[in-house]
C-alpha cells in the first residue's frame, strides 16, 4: 500500500474513533468504510468496522467483514472467528453459530473467549444451566471481564442463583462503573427482584448517550432533583415506548400530590386514556421527529400551559418517589 494511502487510512480511522466518541455512529461507520477502501487488508480497520456494524445491528455487513478478516488471516484470527459467531447469531443463525462455537470451545478449552461465546449462545437459546457452566469456565480464566461477568450473572439469575448473580453484577459494575450496558444489565435484574438499591440508580444510566439512539429536547428547564415542589409546576417528559408509558403511569397520581400542578407528556395515542384515567393532570401529546438516529422532542406546545418549574423523565419518577420513602411495589389506591 502506498504510504500516502496508509496515512490517509489512519487519519480516517482516527476521525471515525472521534465520531464514535461524540455519539455519531453513522459518521463513524462512513469514516471506517472509507479507511477500508484505502486499506482493505488492515485488520484493525476491519475489526473496528465489524464492531460498529454489530453495534448498529447491521448483521449481514458485520458477518461479511468477519469473513473477509478470516480469509486474510487464513482462518487463524480468533478475533474474526468470534466476530463471525456474533454476527451469525445476530442475523438469526443462532443454531449454526452455536455449533461452530461448541467446536471452538472443544478444540480450545482454555480459551476464555471461546468458552464465553459458546456460553453466551447457550444463554440466548434458553439453555441456562449449560450456559452457566461455560461462562464459569470463562471466568475461571479471565475473572475481570465485565462482559463475561454480565452474561454469567444472567445465567445464574435464570437458574435461580440470585446471590451469585448479584455478586457478579456488582463485580462488573466495580470494574467498569461508567459502562451503560453493564449498569443497565444490573438494573434489569435488580428491579425484577424488587431490589431498589442499586436497581433504580442503575436504571438512570439509560439516559446516558447511546450511539444507536440519541434524544434531544428543546427544553431550558432544570431537571427535578427531588426538591420540594409545593405550589410548583412539574413537567413529566415521555421517553419510553407506549407499553412502558402505560406501566409507569401508576406513579403519576402520587406525584401529583407532591406538586402544585403536573403536566404529563405522552404518546399521542395515549392522550385519551391518560385524560380519562388521571383526572387533575394536564395531559399533552408529545411532538417528536426522527433525524437518523437522533430523536428530537419539541416543546413549543408548553406555552399553552402554566409555566413549568422543572422536568423529570417518566422512567425516573420511580427513583424520586423511592427517595421519599415510596417504593415502586407500594400498594396503589
- Between CA 68 and CA 34 the distance in angstroms is 16
Separate counts of helices (H) and strands (E) for the chain: 16, 7
d(C-alpha 86, C-alpha 84), whole Å: 5
For the stretch 109-161, pLDDT in tens is: 999 999 999 999 999 999 999 999 999 999 999 999 999 999 999 999 999 99
Report the CATH number that the domain containing residue 39 is assigned in CATH: 1.25.40.10
Decide if 250 is inside a domain: yes
Q: What is the reported pLDDT for 212?
A: 66
Q: Are residues 8 and 132 in the same domain?
A: yes
Which domain-ending residue is among 207, 224, 256? 207
241 in a domain, yes or no? yes
User: Tens digits of per-residue pLDDT, 191-209?
Assistant: 999 999 999 999 999 998 7
CA 282 – CA 275 distance, rounded (Å):
8
End-to-end CA distance of the chain: 72
**pLDDT value at position 245?**
93
Nearest C-alpha neighbor of 221 from the set 299, 296, 319: 299
3-state secondary structure of 24: coil
pLDDT of residue 257: 94
* Beta partners for residue 174, in sequence order: none
Last residue of a domain, one of 146, 180, 207: 207
Helix, strand, or coil (residue 261): strand
52, containing H or E segment: helix 43-55
Task: Judge if 199 and 231 occupy the same domain.
Answer: no
Query: Do 15 and 55 belong together in one domain?
Result: yes
Which residues of the chain fall below pLDDT 70?
1-6, 211-212, 240, 292, 333
Where are the alpha helices (H) located in the chain, listed in sequence order? 3-21, 25-38, 43-55, 59-72, 78-90, 94-107, 112-124, 128-141, 146-158, 162-175, 180-192, 196-203, 242-248, 252-256, 271-277, 317-323
Say what angle helices 3-21 and 43-55 make with each other, to 10 degrees.
Answer: 30
DSSP 167: H
- Of 178, 207, 236, the residue at which a domain comes to its end is 207
Asked whether residue 330 is domain-assigned, the answer is: no
Quote the domain boundaries for residue 244.
215-323
Domain-embedded: residue 70: yes
| Domain match, 190 and 80 both | yes
Are 20 and 112 members of one domain?
yes
Question: How many folded domains does the chain comprise?
Answer: 2
Q: Are 72 and 56 in contact (CB under 8 A)?
A: no
- Domain co-membership, 249 together with 113: no
Nearest partner of 254 among 270, 234, 240, judged by Cα = 234
Distance CA 119, CA 266 (A): 40
Q: What is the pLDDT of residue 332?
A: 78
CATH of the domain at 290: 3.50.50
Measured between alpha carbons, how far is 114 from 97 in angstroms, rounded to an integer?
Answer: 12
**284: enclosing H helix or E strand:** strand 282-285
| Cα 25 from Cα 213, distance rounded (Å) | 9
**CB neighbours (10 Å) of residue 267?**
17
Whether the predicted model's global pTM rises above the 0.85 cut? yes
Q: Is residue 77 part of a domain?
A: yes
Instruction: Check whether residue 133 and residue 276 sit in a common domain.
Output: no
Radius of gyration of the chain (CA): 24
Taking a C-beta distance cutoff of 8 angstroms, is the pair 102, 96 a contact? Answer: no
- Is residue 333 in some structural domain? no
* Same domain (yes/no): 249, 136: no
Task: For the chain, give the number of residues.
Answer: 333
Q: Tell me what pLDDT residue 211 has.
A: 65
Question: 256 with 198, same domain?
Answer: no
Residues 82 and 140 both lie in one domain? yes
φ, ψ (nearest 5 deg) of residue 170: -60, -40
Q: What is the pLDDT of residue 290?
A: 82
Q: How far is CA 296 from CA 48, 290, 292, 299, in A?
A: 29, 6, 10, 10
pLDDT at 4: 62
Task: Report how far residue 16's alpha carbon sits from residue 35's, in angstroms, rounded to the nearest whole number.
Answer: 9
Answer yes or no: do 203 and 278 share one domain: no
Neighbours of 112 (CB within 10 A): 18
Amino acid at each position: 500500500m502506498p504510504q500516502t494511502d496508509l496515512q490517509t487510512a489512519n487519519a480516517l480511522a482516527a476521525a471515525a474513533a472521534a465520531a464514535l466518541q461524540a455519539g455519531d455512529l453513522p459518521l463513524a461507520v462512513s469514516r471506517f468504510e472509507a479507511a477500508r477502501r484505502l486499506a482493505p487488508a488492515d485488520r484493525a480497520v476491519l475489526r473496528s468496522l465489524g464492531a460498529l456494524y454489530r453495534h448498529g445491528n447491521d448483521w449481514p455487513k458485520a458477518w461479511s467483514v468477519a469473513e473477509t478478516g478470516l480469509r486474510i488471516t487464513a482462518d487463524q484470527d480468533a478475533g474474526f472467528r468470534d466476530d463471525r459467531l456474533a454476527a451469525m447469531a445476530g442475523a438469526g443463525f443462532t443454531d449454526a453459530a452455536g455449533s461452530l462455537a461448541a467446536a471452538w470451545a472443544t478444540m480450545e478449552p482454555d480459551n476464555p473467549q471461546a468458552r464465553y461465546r459458546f456460553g453466551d449462545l447457550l444463554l440466548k437459546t434458553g439453555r441456562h444451566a449449560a450456559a452457566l457452566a461455560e461462562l464459569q469456565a470463562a471466568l475461571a480464566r479471565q475473572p475481570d471481564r465485565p462482559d463475561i461477568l454480565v452474561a454469567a450473572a444472567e445465567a445464574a439469575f435464570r437458574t435461580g442463583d440470585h446471590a451469585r448473580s448479584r455478586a457478579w453484577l456488582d463485580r462488573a459494575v466495580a470494574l467498569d462503573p461508567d459502562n451503560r450496558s453493564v449498569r443497565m444489565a444490573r438494573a434489569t435484574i435488580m428491579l425484577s427482584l424488587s431490589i431498589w438499591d442499586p436497581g433504580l440508580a442503575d436504571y438512570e444510566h439509560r439516559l446516558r448517550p447511546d450511539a444507536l439512539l440519541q434524544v434531544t429536547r428543546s427544553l431550558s428547564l432544570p431537571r427535578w432533583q427531588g426538591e420540594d415542589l409545593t405550589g410548583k409546576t412539574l413537567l413529566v417528559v415521555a421517553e419510553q415506548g407506549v407499553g412502558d408509558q402505560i406501566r409507569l403511569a401508576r406513579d403519576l397520581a402520587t406525584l401529583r400530590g407532591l406538586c402544585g400542578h403536573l403536566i404529563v407528556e405522552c404518546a399521542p395515542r395515549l392522550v385519551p386514556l391518560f385524560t380519562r384515567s388521571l383526572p387533575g393532570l394536564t395531559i399533552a401529546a408529545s411532538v417528536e421527529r426522527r433525524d437518523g438516529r437522533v430523536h428530537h422532542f419539541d416543546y413549543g406546545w408548553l406555552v399553552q400551559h402554566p409555566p413549568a418549574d422543572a422536568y423529570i423523565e417518566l422512567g425516573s419518577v420511580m427513583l424520586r418517589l423511592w427517595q421519599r420513602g415510596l417504593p415502586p411495589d407500594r400498594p396503589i389506591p
